[in-house]
Chains A and B, each alone.
Chain A
Amino acid sequence: MNLAQLSLYDQAVVVSASLVLLTSFIMLAQARIVPLIYAFAWQGALLALVTALVAYVSGHPHLYVSALLTLGLKALLIPWMLHRLAVRLKIHHEIEAITNPSLMLLAGAALVIFSYYVSLPIVHLSTLVTRNTIGVSVAIVLLGMLLMVSRSKAVAQVVGFMSIENGLFFAAVVATYGMPMVVELGIAFDVLVAAVIFGVFFFQMRESIDSLDVDRLNRLSETAEPTEGGR
């Protein structure tokens, strides 16, 4: 496929797909909580833009609803909730030490290559204009996982989880022009409920281990045993 032969709207789909990928990398490199949440919000907004563009290109009006839903939930509501939680938990000025950031980014680039090779057979089967972006959507899922694996702060892990969901939604939009409306609504509410539950979960964690660092959960159980034995 030659990009220059596509229409301008198809090219815009491809460019905004690559921008969604870029926001995944920005999240991977971002050590501060609040800019991380903003990057996540931008990813949601770009995802809504891609969905709207695909709706226009393919002539599927139900995708406009998905785009609006994505914009409302993933670009506005959930980032706002996460931001409010970060302020209430007083972690909005904290900086997380990322171990070896450059290596992390290169690992991310390797994941992009990997997902390209994995999705190559599917891409060859498809006849859609947006088929080339399937590899990108798989990469966004894997980058979200990398974000979850590499961070120890619970908020960053939740953002990683949400961006995995973004990748799945993106895959559905570009590979099959969207899921059925019922499924989409169900997933949207699932994500919303998950965000609420995560909020409760943060406060519980804060109560019990006095921190949002997930690594501390490990340490607590190990040190608890000798004191039990000492009694």
Chain B
Amino acid sequence: MRWVAAAVQTALFVAAAPLLAGWIKRVKCHMQNRAAPSLLQPYRDLAKLFRKEIVLAENASWLFRTAPYVVFGAFVLAAAVVPLVAVHLPTAAIADVIVLVGFFALARFFQALAGLDIGTAFGGMGSSREMTVASLAEPAMLMAVFTLAMVASTTNLSVAIEHNLDAGLVLRPSFLFALLGLAMVAIAETGRIPVDNPATHLELTMLHEAMVLEYSGRHLALVEWAGQIKLMIYAVLIANIFFPWGIAQDFAPLALGVGMVAVAAKLAALGIALVVWETVIAKMRLFRVPQFLGFAFLLALLGMLTQVILETG
């Protein structure tokens, strides 16, 4: 029963990821006075790409062909670790937050290799930029995660979320800092606006797009879907760790229903917040990204320091 619930939740996670992307795009269009596409447009795009023929470069190796599957698989596994609707899932008991960061690193490694594999200038440039951003974002992410681990005395996500839920409303400065740091990391890692603009193909600024430029058909669909899952994972992490209200603590149908509605509402609100942020802020120069991520690291570090100084000291 518990394993079935875990599988269903993971499937729901993977299936809902394009919906979140569609929601963000729709709200953004409304915000900028443009005609908005349907909420289901990302599904249609994915279906179209899955039907299309794959065009491979002549010198593409097995790595280029397997990378989309590895990336997609890593993100599906990562999604299995994150509690979406309910805690106490067996998948969450096996893996903790550090494993989650490891899955991200695995996917990124293969994507960067695939970008290099074809040998085009853009692919190599994109890989190099992606690794630069990742090497700065990962310590900040880990530091934010350690803050959470120190508060809850565990690195297991499910246990930590339940700890926060049981503690009730506690105003923790360390969570405030960790939230800000994690949000900045999420923006950098998912390629949102101040760091990267996934809607354009401009060689001066593109990070993620440059790596996947050579993909087509089914491969591109998998890579795009993986990107949407990644955005969803970060959004769910932020929503469920820092605002854990409503998440189901048992598998009763009522609790699961409440958990579903709660997480949908939280994700919708987060999507709106992201859109507002993306609308008011301008894309920054690539050379300022290390500064941005340095500030994210500082915030995560301050989260840990305030935990020691103000909360336990």
List chain A positions with a Cβ less than 8 A from chain B. 1-4, 8, 11-12, 14-15, 17-19, 21-22, 25, 29, 101-102, 105-106, 108-109, 112-113, 116, 120, 123, 132-133, 135-136
Contact = CB atoms under 8 A, between A and B. Distances in A.
B173 A18 contact: yes
B302 A135 contact: no
Contact of B173 (A1, A14, A123): A14
Given A101-B291, A112-B302, A2 B313 contact: no
A4 B301 CA distance: 21
Contacts of A22: 177, 299, 302
Contacts of B313: 1, 116, 120, 123, 132, 135
Interface of B is mostly: helix
B281 interface: no
10 contacts: A4-B170, A18-B302, A21-B302, A21-B306, A22-B302, A101-B294, A102-B294, A105-B294, A112-B309, A132-B311
Indicate the member of B170, B171, B172 with the most A CB atoms within 10 Å: B171
B298 A18 contact: no
B198 to A, nearest CB: 26
Contacts of B310: 3, 14, 17-18, 132-133, 136
A4 B167 contact: yes
A11 B172 CA distance: 7
A108 B169 CA distance: 30
Given A11-B172, A132-B310, 11 more contacts: A15-B172, A18-B306, A21-B306, A22-B299, A22-B302, A29-B291, A102-B291, A109-B305, A116-B313, A132-B311, A136-B310
Nearest to A106: B298
A12 B169 CA distance: 12
Q: Please name the 3 residue pairs, one residue from A and one from B, whose CB atoms are nearest each other, closest first.
A: A18-B173, A102-B294, A11-B171
Contacts of B301: 109
B194 to A, nearest CB: 15
A135 B306 CA distance: 10
Interface string B47-62: 0000000000000000
Contacts of A108: 298
A105 B295 contact: yes
B290 interface: yes
A136 to B, nearest CB: 7
A113 B172 CA distance: 19
A8 B171 CA distance: 7
A95 to B, nearest CB: 12
B308 A18 contact: no
Contacts of B177: 18, 22
Contacts of B308: 116
